[in-house]
């Protein structure tokens, strides 16, 4: 009976986050417009200038999927801060549910939002000559799920410890952009200086981009199994961090 109550709690929290996402039409529109801007500006503009004759748009496409998922997932933690401001979270905390259940329900809701947006970007890729196979679609879904789980958990861990929106501005400057630009999302890793290549190798997002790019274009820098294991390990570690943060959270 207790397990059933916890599962119902997970479902209720997941469903609430899904409904909020579907009602906010601006988030759906931005999930279409933002990747288009990146693909056109970087793929068409920079690609035509520095990579003539190469389909740079397709090359950076995995990185664009990851960027949109990264922003959607990690900033999901802002909703925890908002829920605190609106006292909704206080009502949730007094419910007969464990903190782990609260975390899992919120995390699954954030991952679902991110995966919906990623699916829209995958469809957009068809208009930019991105060629899919059954294997590449499965691989992309796997890696996107791993980054969604990992970064949503990290965002929730931050949100559980912060009480102001301003704190998340630092996340963008000191976490998101360094991780993204040092992942090889916009450039190949083969000809990097040794010091920069070392930095990219300790960045888990590097392996997520590499796994998706290998599935789409066959351009793997690392073995596929290494990409998959590190992506999975990243997700597991972040889930553990997020769970611990929720257990220790003070309202």
Mean pLDDT value across the chain? 82
Q: Tens digits of per-residue pLDDT, 61-108?
A: 898 898 888 888 887 777 777 766 666 666 666 667 777 888 888 889
Owning domain of residue 202:
2-247
What's the structural domain count of the chain? 1
pLDDT of res. 88: 63
Q: Tens digits of per-residue pLDDT, 199-219?
A: 888 999 999 999 999 998 888
Provide the pLDDT confidence category of residue 30 given band limits of 50, 70 and 90. confident
Query: Rounded to the nearest 10 degrees, what angle do helices 2-23 and 99-125 cross at?
Result: 40
Provide mean pLDDT across the span 191-200.
Answer: 84
Q: Residues near 69 by Cβ (< 8 Å), separated by ≥ 6? A: 114, 117, 118, 144, 147, 148, 151
Provide mean pLDDT across the span 38-57.
Answer: 67
pLDDT of 52 > 60? The answer is: no
């Amino acid at each position: 009976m207790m397990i059933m109550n916890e599962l119902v709690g997970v479902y209720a929290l997941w469903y609430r986050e899904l409904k909020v996402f579907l009602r906010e039409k601006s988030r759906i529109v931005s999930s279409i417009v933002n990747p288009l801007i990146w693909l056109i500006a970087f793929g068409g503009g920079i690609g035509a200038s520095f990579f003539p004759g190469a389909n740079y748009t397709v090359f950076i496409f995995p990185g664009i999927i990851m960027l949109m998922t990264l922003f959607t997932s990690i900033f999901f933690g802002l909703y925890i801060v908002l829920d605190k401001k609106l006292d909704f979270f206080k009502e949730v905390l007094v419910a007969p549910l464990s903190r782990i259940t609260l975390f899992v329900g919120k995390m699954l809701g954030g991952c679902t939002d991110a995966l919906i947006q990623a699916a829209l970007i995958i469809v957009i890729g068809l208009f930019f000559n991105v060629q899919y196979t059954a294997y590449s679609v499965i691989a992309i879904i796997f890696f996107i799920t791993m980054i969604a789980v990992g970064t949503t958990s990290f965002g929730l861990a931050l949100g559980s410890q912060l009480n102001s929106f301003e704190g998340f501005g630092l996340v963008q400057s000191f976490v998101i952009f360094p991780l993204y630009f040092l992942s090889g999302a916009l450039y190949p890793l083969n000809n990097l200086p040794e010091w920069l290549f070392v930095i990219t190798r300790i960045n888990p997002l590097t392996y997520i981009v590499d796994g998706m790019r290998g599935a789409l274009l066959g351009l793997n820098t690392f073995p596929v199994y290494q990409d998959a294991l590190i992506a999975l390990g990243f997700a597991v570690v972040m889930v553990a961090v997020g769970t611990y943060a929720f257990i220790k959270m003070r309202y």
